[in-house]
């Protein structure tokens, strides 16, 4: 997490039980911290958006919601929409 993150974000993240590693605020500093974590822990990096696993997970959640609504024979009372920074258009159910 960038060392200039808001105290509220840091506290909330720690409150969920996360182990926080701080980095500098620039992209190269964050990438260096990431690479150190990957090297020392053997973890795999999956970006928070625009990755096949993330996209598939979002699609699966949408299908499960649709199936649940249809099973209950009710109508979806709201419109769900998502947009990533790289998205050229919004997607909605």
Say yes or no to pLDDT of 9 above 50. Answer: yes
| Residue 23 CB-density burial (10 A; 0-12 exposed, 13-18 middle, 19+ buried) | buried
Together in a domain, 61 and 88: yes
Say yes or no to pLDDT of 45 above 80. Answer: yes
Together in a domain, 35 and 59: no
pTM recorded for the entire structure = 0.55
- Convert the pLDDT of each residue in 60-72 to its tens digit: 888 888 888 776 7
Together in a domain, 56 and 81: yes
Together in a domain, 29 and 57: no
Residue 61 to residue 19: CA distance in whole angstroms:
27
Has residue 2 been placed in a domain? no
Range of the structural domain that residue 59 is part of: 52-92
**Total domains in the fold of the chain:** 2
Together in a domain, 37 and 57: no
């Amino acid at each position: 997490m960038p060392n200039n993150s808001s105290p509220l974000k840091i506290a909330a993240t720690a409150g969920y039980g996360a182990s926080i590693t701080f980095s500098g605020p620039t992209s190269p500093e964050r990438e260096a911290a990431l690479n150190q974590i990957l090297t020392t822990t053997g973890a795999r990096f999956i970006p928070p958006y625009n990755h096949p696993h993330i996209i598939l997970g979002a699609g699966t959640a949408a299908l499960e919601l649709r199936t649940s609504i249809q099973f209950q024979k009710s109508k979806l009372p709201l419109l769900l929409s998502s947009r990533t920074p790289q998205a050229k258009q919004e997607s909605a159910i």
